[in-house]
Amino acid sequence: MNFNFENLYIEYDSDDIPYSLYEIHGVNKIRELSRQLRTFLNYKTAMIQYRFRPKTATYPDRVEEKYKETERSLKQLASKFIRLLANIRGNSFSYEIELERLVFNQAYDKIRKSLLTELKDVTQKLFTTIHALSEQEIHLHPKFLKFVANLTQEACTVFKILNNWASGFYEELRVNYVQLHDELTLLIPEEHAEKSTVRKHKSLEEGLREW
């Protein structure tokens, strides 16, 4: 899969999707993947808007209020997401390793099964809110835009593991968000002790508190 920005629509034309995929995974799952692509394109567009922004611009207060409400919801979900990953990681080196063990180990207990169910639910809500934010004036908030691009990488990693049928899709999507974050890092000057990625913090939670 190639998410090259110039040929993205060509490679993901609906005519190219095998009919058997609709039969196996259902229309809703295909719509979800399509929404994920639109979300990425929205953030890519936001980066371009920031790059070529006018020196002075004014926007209605109602737009700002809507943005603040969505940002607040995203932060709340991100906090839950981060706590769940910390619980799954435990004393392990990486939450990915432990998450894979949980998913592929059929003998896990009810508590861990409940943890996986909650993680999937929270991650789905996180993606939905990330999409809602992408349709607002996120380019006016470049630091948070960069943080969201970074946070979405982790959400992609989780869904890559939880949704084996779409693991390749979410891995490629994660790589594209990594590249987007790298581009934003070049565009947005770092201030004081600001870290370049969430993964370079001692924990994901520290990365969230920075904003």
Residue 49's pLDDT is 92
Low-confidence ranges of the chain (pLDDT < 50): 1-14, 192-203, 210-211
Tens-place pLDDT, residues 37-48: 999 999 999 999
CA 10 to chain centre: 23
pLDDT at residue 102, rounded to an integer: 85
Alpha-carbon distance values, 162 to 1, 95, 149, 182 (Å): 19, 13, 20, 26
Contact predicate 130/68, CB 8 Å: no
Neighbours of 95 (CB within 10 A): 22
From the number of C-beta atoms within 10 Å of its C-beta (0-12, 13-18, 19+), residue 96 rates as middle
Q: Which pLDDT does position 5 carry in this prediction? A: 42
Residue-level pLDDT at 130:
97
Q: What does DSSP assign to residue 57?
A: -
- Cα distance between residue 19 and residue 55, in whole Å: 49
pTM metric for this prediction = 0.77
- pLDDT for the residue 171: 96
For residue 38, which of 123, 157, 133 has the smallest C-alpha distance?
133
Residues 96 and 157 sit within 8 Å (Cβ to Cβ): yes
Q: What pLDDT score does 200 carry?
A: 42
pLDDT > 70 fraction of the chain, expressed in percent and rounded: 72
